[in-house]
Chain A
Amino acid sequence: MSTNIQERKIIIEIKDLKKSYGDNHVLNGFNMTLHEGENLVIMGKSGSGKSVMIKCLIGLETADSGSIMVMGEQIGELSRTTLDEIRTEIGFLFQGSALYDSMTVRENLEFPLRRHTKKFGVLKDTTPLVMQALENVGLAHAVNLMPAELSGGMKRRIALARTLILQPKIILYDEPTTGLDPITAKEILILMKSIQEKYNTSSIIITHDVDCARVISNRMILLVEGINYAEGTFDELSTSTDPKVQAFFK
């Protein structure tokens, strides 16, 4: 399976990405490719720049240098409209779910639908799409609740539904299981897998959870000191003799 994924089309390619905040050199020449239908796991210590990298990828942060190609377009050179169009094809699951506190679950899901009008046009009735997205994550009954009334696991599911509602081709997960108990984390993982199979999406999963990486990855990259320190399948990396690599699997 993994060999033939490597032969598929490349949809994201990052070359020599650098980003600093003052004297804090977070990324020092990071390289990465994502193939169609692939689940790429990126592991790194807390504060190693995983979130910064993924935010550069979607244009929330601007890179200092390097190139980021997403579906043939160079992020960073795009007009706002083109960037918005690309963003409809990329779902982003934020680290802390990032649900809008002041809106109900339904309004949370409608927000991207009503604003990214290019994909589905201007919708009169968003109910079918909202309900479908909620059913995908098994929370159709929560449609009228406020985020404050949801548990951590439910919030993560709703956030997932919100990223899925535009039916993106690529999904970026920023620590999807962090802060959840092991059982809920497992449920989220199963959900991620089923979504992957149902919609045939490609994903980048940022995590420091070894179980998560084992279950979901086709390929892994270890981010150490701002570069892609090691790369390979879970089995290859977990049996590596390099102490820096081994530190991740203890």
Chain B
Amino acid sequence: MSDQDVKKIEVGDGAAIPSPDDKGLVSAWWIALIGTLILVIALPLVQPDPYLKILKFIPDGILITFQVTIMSILLAIVIGLLTGLGRISENRLINLAASLYVEVVRGIPLLVQLFYIYFALGRLVRVPDIVAAVVAMAVCYGAYMGEVIRAGIKSIDFGQTEASLSLGFNRRQTMAYVILPQAWRTILPPVGNEFIALLKDTSLVSILAVSDILRRGREFAAESFNYFETYTMIALIYLLITLILSKLISIMEHRLSHYERR
């Protein structure tokens, strides 16, 4: 029978999502989680000044970090969908534009892009800092997302397209009813990876006057001079968030492959 398994897409950086079969990573995950939890709870108890103060000061930043991450990933998915479709388009011009965008974005460091878009956007329109930050993150991640989506679409057997066309569907309908509904199962896991990578990269927006976790920490440290303690706490918080997220995504991915085999 021709039931090829869903192909996995390899995308570079991003947090490693523990596969349920990878015993090494799974046990490392537990050790890291428990260790982090113990430190996050124990440090403020043992040494309330400054750890408890830090812990009270940062949560506003966590909210901002999540806001920026979620808005950026959503916008990046939209950009990625357009880019991915553009990259497989038969229209030369659209194809070239999409490829050019991917090349340019991949060739410039994120931090430089962030500054660039932030200040370029600032020249054109007055938008809140957080919006500029989101746009900058999304423009960057949209290129990677585009590659993920393109790979997802390409992973679907061309016979599906031919069957759809032969019924009378046009290319757009074929994409909407036949290809994308199958491709998302391949696309979603790497999107989960990108989500975690993006969350970590949002720490860069602290430079743009956006009060995320890192910026809140820097503000605290600048006043209290507790640099070491503050950055310890910040690192632990990021670690806790990404550990939990990677687990959630791994569970989701597992469910998805289950669903595939129902």
To the question of whether A and B form a pair in one complex, the answer is no
A residues adjacent to B (C-beta < 8 A):
none
